[in-house]
Structure 1
Amino acid sequence: MSEAQVQETQATAPARAKVVRTLVGKVVSDKRAKTVTVLVERRVKHELYGKIVARSRKYHAHDEKGEYKMGDLVEITESRPLSKTKNWVVTRMVEKARVV
């Protein structure tokens, strides 16, 4: 194939958009080195009864600098497996924890 044909096929090929999963949750534990535990809550409608029910799940997220503390609201993004239980990375802080 000539260079013109290669460029043409690259231009006409549909661009694959990588789907990046992001979640927002609250840091519930920061005791481990470079890792925080993030509690993500979501509200779903019960299949049978129709009531809105709160569902939650904890994710272990990588925090390289140890800058996120308990109570912070953070955004986490899915990444490659970093350890046995850690597949997420903290990308940004949404809201700092309030001091009581």
Structure 2
Amino acid sequence: MADENENITEEPTDAVETDTAETEAAPEAPAGPDASLSPVQKRAWHRQRSGTTTNASKSIEEKAEERKALRKQKAAARTRRRKQEREKQAAKLGAEAGTDRGTPKPEHEPGRKQVRQGVVVSAKGDKTLAVRIDHSKRHPKYKKIVRHTTKLYAHDEQNDAGEGDTVRIESSRPLSRTKRWTLAEIVERAK
């Protein structure tokens, strides 16, 4: 019986040895993830195989530094792109030098009077003109020409200008509730 007990004890050890030998001969990991895994589990499986780690192992400060560096990098790229777009637009406008690009912005420096040119809409008031100023510029996004009108009141000391005249007016101190402009010159008389 002692021989039988020895055989019984030896058999399981032999079986264990053969099982380990079979597992060593088998491939360590299958070629792809199991089909029964969820997408999240599949991604985790791939991460384990590729050796990459998740962001959970990084501290808050490290994440903040990475985010700051990425933002700085994107800002620099954005600045370069916008500069190239401006240069491209300037080159395009240089090629179209003869075309109308709308009313240019009026020049204004501190200490200099602002000057506008427009058409007299009304000269009925005593020493007062109502001048219509037309602006037109191309819309930056839609490229359609947008027209805009402003009505300014100007002081005309001699009552020279009449309705329909093209006049140039310049800024002045407030002369009444609505008058902040004076007549500088009459550019063209109405016909």
Q: What range describes the TM-score normalised by the shorter chain of this pair?
A: 0.7 to 0.9
| Consecutive aligned runs of 4 or more in structure 1 exceeding 4 Å deviation | none
**2:124 equivalent in structure 1:** 31
Amino acid corresponding to residue 166 of structure 2 in structure 1: L
SS in 2 for 1:32: coil
Query: Which one has the bigger strand percentage?
Result: 1
Deviations along 1:10-35, one digit per CA (max 9) or x if unpaired, are xxxxxx96222100000000110110
The offset of 1:40, in angstroms, is 0.5
Corresponding residue number in structure 2 for 1:46? 139
Partner in structure 2 of residue 83 of structure 1:
176
- Could you tell me the TM-score, scaled by structure 2's length? 0.42
The answer to whether structure 1 residue 95 and structure 2 residue 180 are counterparts is no
CA offset digits 1:10-64 (Å, max 9, x no partner): xxxxxx9622210000000011011010000011122431211111100000001
Question: Whose helix proportion is higher, 1 or 2?
Answer: 2
Structure 2: gaps spanning 5 or more residues: 1-108
CA distance in 1, matches of 2:155, 2:126: 9
Aligned to 2:45: none
Amino acid at match of 2:128: T
Q: Aligned runs of 1:43-82 on 2, under 5 Å?
A: 43-82=136-175
Larger relative contact order, structure 1 or 2 (CA cutoff 8 Å, min sep 6): 1
CA RMSD of superposed structures (Å) = 1.5
- Measure, in 1, the Cα distance between the counterparts of 2:112 and 2:144: 31
TM-score (norm 1): 0.78
CA distance in 2, matches of 1:85, 1:51: 32
Q: Number of matched residues?
A: 83
The one-letter amino acid of 2:124's match is K
Looking at structure 2, the residues matched to 27 and 91 of structure 1 have their Cα atoms a distance apart, in angstroms, of: 13
Once residues 58 and 17 of structure 1 are traced to their aligned partners in structure 2, the CA distance between those partners, rounded to angstroms, is: 24
Give the counterpart letter for 1:57 in structure 2. T
- Measure, in 2, the Cα distance between the counterparts of 1:81 and 1:52: 33
